[in-house]
Amino acid sequence: MPTAVFVHPHPDDEAIFTGGAMRRAADGGWRVVLVMATGGEEGTMPEWVRVDTADHRRMETAQAAAVLGVSEVHHLGLRDSGMAGSDTNRHPDSLTSSVSRAADALAEIVDRYHADALVGQDSNGIYGHPDHVAVHQITRQAAARLGTPEVLEATMDRQWLSELRADRVNRGRLDPGSWQAASLERVGVKPTADGWISESRGAPQTLLRIDLAHEWDAKQAAMAAHASQVPDAADFMGIPPGVFHRVLAHEWFLRVGSTAGSVPTAGPLEQSLGAVVVPSG
C-alpha cells in the first residue's frame, strides 16, 4: 500500500487546505498519515471549552482525521508560534524556534513509513503565517534528506481568488469592504510566463488543482469537527460565508522536486488525486 504523509502546522489546517485530497487518497488505496507540527495553543477558544487548548484541539483533530480516512496521526509536540511579530514566535519550544528539531522528527516519521509522497505547504506558508512557513521548511528538509519520490505543497491560486472576488463584487453579491482585495496580495501563488511563484520569488513551479465533488461532504464534516476554530466558516482569511464554500471546494498544490535541481513530473499521488495542471499563461 503506498503511503502519503501530510504535514500541517495547526489543527484545522489539514481539513481546510488538504481535506479533500486526503479523503480522495484514502479512497484510492493510499495509507494517509497526518503529522501535526504544533498543538495550536494560540488559537482563540470559545467560552464553552473547559479543557486545555492543545488537548481540545487534539481531540478535534482525531475526529476530523477519522472523517478524512487518516490511518495515523502524529504530533511533533511543538508549540504554536502565533502570528507574525508575536512574542510567542520566540518561545524556545515554538515551531519557529525549533525548525531543525522538527525536521529531524518529521524525517524519522517519513522514513518509518517509507513514504512514497510527502505533502507540505508553499514557501510563503500559503498566507505568511510563521508556522506555515516553518512547515514548508521542515518538509523540504525531510524530503531532501530522504529522497522522497514525490513532494507536493498545498497552496492557493491567487489569480482565481481575485477573479472570484471581482465577479462577486461586479454582480452585487459581495460588499467590496467585506473581503479586501489587498488581503489576497500575499495568498498562495501567482502566475508568470514561466510558471507559478509565491512571495519568496523562487523558481516558477507547476500548479495543480483538484475539484472536490464526492469529497466535499467529508471535507465539510472535517472542518465542522474543529468547532472551536471554524464555528461558522466566516473568518477564514476574511472570506465571507457566501464565498467560503466556493473557495474551499477546490484544493491547489505545487509539484515539487524532492532534491535541488530535479525536474518534477507527475507522481503516483498526483495521478491518484486526478489533479489537473493550471496554465500560467
Tens of pLDDT, residues 81-99 = 877 777 777 777 778 888 9
User: Other CB atoms closer than 10 Å to residue 10's CB: what's the count?
Assistant: 26
Greatest distance between any 2 Cα atoms in the chain? 53
Helix (H) or strand (E) holding 253: strand 250-256
Tell me the pLDDT tens digit for each residue of 188-227. 999 998 899 987 667 889 999 999 989 999 999 999 999 8
Other beta carbons within 10 angstroms of residue 55's beta carbon come to 11
Of the candidates 211, 207, 210, the residue with the CA atom closest to the CA atom of residue 254: 207
Identity of the amino acid at 6: F
CA neighbor of 270 nearest in space, from 70, 2, 10 = 2
Q: Give the Å distances, CA to CA, from 204 to 61, 127, 272.
A: 33, 18, 24
Q: Spell out the residues 6+ positions from residue 82 whose beta carbon is closer than 8 angstroms to its own.
A: 42, 88, 89, 94, 130
Assigned CATH for 3-277: 3.40.50.10320
pLDDT higher for 19 or 245? Answer: 19
The pLDDT score that the predictor gives to residue 233 is 47
pTM strictly above 0.85: yes
Higher local confidence (pLDDT), 80 or 23: 23
Mean pLDDT (the chain, rounded) = 88
